[in-house]
């Protein structure tokens, strides 16, 4: 069975390590022709600078312009919203994204989503995705997981949320960090139904 690829995908960056996954995900979604609605936390700005020497300005319009130019996005293909922008479309069940990915996802954000707190636009958009039955994928980067983390993840998984820790496989014989990033991003894209060829599939070619 084939799935219709999502037209709009909300992507949220939070303050966990793993910003290369999120940036690559946005690049691939734009390349696949999806409309991307991007959200980012204040701590994500620090992580982007630390891990990628990437500046995410506080003004969403500046981030939208910079990333659109970086990835060659079509006009209005990438929209960036502020954390308190409550009139953004994804804040309401009347106009949610087709799918949402929080990548990377902090344990604090995951806990807030599990509790339905909706204290900022990231949490509210995730709450809307759950209540409207849209695909929600969380990419939690933490180790080890505490019992609190595991209980929150189990609660969300039972609601249909996909918990996808960034755990690259080595059967593809990755040669670079980029290969390992692509492995994880490919699995995220698979979950939301976006076709991709970022990794060699199990059982396809180069069999040993």
Percent of the chain topping pLDDT 90: 93
The confidence score (pLDDT) of residue 208 equals 46
Q: Return the domain boundaries, the chain.
A: 8-192
Q: What span, in angstroms and rounded, lies between the C-alpha atoms of 86 and 93? A: 12
Helix count and strand count (H, E) for the chain? 7, 6
Average pLDDT, the chain: 95
The confidence score (pLDDT) of residue 1 equals 42
The confidence score (pLDDT) of residue 200 equals 87
**Known binding-site positions for FMN:** 15-17, 41, 106-109, 141
**Tokens 């990628």 belong to residue:** 52
**Known binding-site positions:** 15-17, 41, 106-109, 141, 171, 187
CATH class for domain 8-192? alpha beta
**Known binding-site positions for dimethylallyl phosphate:** 171, 187
pLDDT tens per residue across span 167-204: 999 999 999 999 999 999 999 999 999 999 999 888 88
What average pLDDT does this structure show over 160-172? 96
Reported as a pLDDT band with limits 50, 70 and 90, residue 4 is: confident
The confidence score (pLDDT) of residue 29 equals 98
Q: Say if residue 59 is exposed, middle or buried (CB neighbours under 10 Å; 0-12, 13-18, 19+).
A: exposed
Q: How many CA atoms lie within 13 A of 184 on its CB side?
A: 26
pLDDT tens per residue across span 19-42: 999 999 999 999 999 999 999 999
């Amino acid at each position: 069975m084939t799935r219709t690829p999502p037209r709009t995908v909300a992507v949220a960056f939070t303050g966990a390590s793993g910003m290369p996954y999120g940036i690559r995900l946005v690049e691939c979604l734009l390349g696949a022709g999806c409309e991307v609605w991007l959200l980012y936390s204040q701590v994500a700005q620090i992580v982007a600078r630390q891990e990628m020497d990437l500046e995410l300005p506080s003004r969403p319009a500046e981030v939208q312009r910079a990333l659109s130019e970086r990835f060659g996005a079509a006009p209005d293909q990438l929209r960036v919203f502020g954390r308190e922008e409550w009139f953004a479309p994804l804040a309401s069940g009347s106009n949610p994204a087709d799918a949402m990915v929080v990548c990377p996802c902090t344990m604090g954000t995951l806990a807030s989503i599990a509790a339905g707190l909706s204290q900022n636009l990231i949490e509210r958009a995730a709450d809307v995705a759950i209540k409207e039955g849209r695909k929600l994928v969380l990419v939690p980067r933490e180790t080890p997981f505490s019992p609190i983390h595991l209980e929150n993840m189990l609660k969300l998984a039972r609601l249909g949320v996909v918990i996808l820790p960034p755990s690259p496989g080595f059967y593809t014989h990755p040669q670079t960090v980029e290969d390992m990033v692509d492995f994880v991003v490919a699995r995220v894209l698979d979950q939301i139904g976006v076709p991709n060829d970022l990794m060699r599939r199990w059982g396809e070619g180069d069999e040993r």
